[in-house]
Amino acid sequence: MTKGTTSLRRDQRGAAYAEFLIAFPPVLILFLCLVQLSLMYVGKLAVRHAANRAARAAVVVLPDDPAFYEGERINQIDYDGSGSATQSDSFFGAGAISGGGSPRIRAIRSAAYTPLTPLAPSLETVMDDESVRTAFDRGALDALAGGFLFNRGATAVSFPRTPGEQNFRDRFESRELVTTRVTYLFNCGVPIVNRFMCDSALELLMAAPSAVVDGVLGALGADTRDGIIGRGFDWYRDNLEGRAAVQNGVVELRYAEAPALIAPWAATGGRFIILRAEAVMPNQGAGFEYE
């Protein structure tokens, strides 16, 4: 062994630098995981608050005077109906872009939108989704812009017949208990860790029941449906039949006002997790019919 080789083996210069390179990535990933988990926990609290607000609004709006809701009958809603935006609903941009829902369900949704506004990803995340800052540091205008667009497509208010049930209703009785559920498509904005902590929009869609996939395929048109995309959907659908991992939240998002509004975030590689919360309150009512 030559003298030069012995000297090289004993040379410890740069050892600290090499050890830092080995130890830093796991520590960084752990930190990012904690940040993302913290944001998810905040999101869960906000969705729970949104469910409480939506329930309080529902038990007042459902039996309210039809004159305030374009003549819509009391204790009835239409998830896919049409109607003018209420004053509170217009605050969230409902007048600028059309969305589905009769006047009563629009008023109830607007109660849920308010606590969810801080969770909405800004438009900046569409252009730059690899920044930790954009995950939580948003200006007021950016947050409002995201609330006007993203939240109207990512927030669904539905009414299960009983808590935890997947059978929904659109007719109610006076003085009965009303279960209100808020389902929210939470955007995971912390880079790197959101790749394994959250799902893409396509992955969530693939976890949906085959009926939902069939509905999406039907909307694509014959050429696309029969092409490569359609065959890919069919493959996923056939392999997901009967799996316990099917997410009911994906089904519930069809009750959102305008699901297409999340397309800019979904198309640019956004990662999401579905958050759900329920609240149960007794329906109100004056005990008489309005004329």
Tokens found for residue 89: 């609903």
Look at residues 137, 134, 138, 132 and name the one whose alpha carbon lies nearest to residue 191. 132
> What tens digit of pLDDT does each residue of 156-193 get?
999 999 998 889 999 998 889 999 999 999 988 888 88
pLDDT at 105: 92
pLDDT at 253: 87
pLDDT band at residue 77 using 50, 70 and 90 as cut-offs? very high
Question: Which residues of the chain form beta strands (DSSP E)?
Answer: 155-158, 177-188, 199-200, 271-282
Distance CA 198, CA 173 (A): 39
pLDDT at 177: 93
Segment 43-72 mean pLDDT: 92
Tokens found for residue 251: 């089904």
- CB contact at 8 A, 86 and 128: no
pTM: 0.78
Question: Which residues of 77-176 form beta strands (DSSP E)?
Answer: 155-158
pLDDT band at residue 225 using 50, 70 and 90 as cut-offs? very low
Residue 222 has pLDDT above 60, yes or no: no
> What tens digit of pLDDT does each residue of 5-43 get?
556 566 666 667 677 777 778 888 888 888 888 889 999
> What tens digit of pLDDT does each residue of 100-146 get?
888 899 989 989 998 998 888 877 666 655 566 666 666 666 666 67
pLDDT at 3: 55
pLDDT at 13: 67
Which residue did the predictor score with more confidence, 291 or 36? 36
Distance CA 235, CA 245 (A): 16
Least confident of 34-43, 99-108, 204-213, 272-281: 204-213
Query: 3-state SS of the chain: helix, strand, coil percent to 5?
Result: 55, 10, 35
Segment 88-97 mean pLDDT: 53
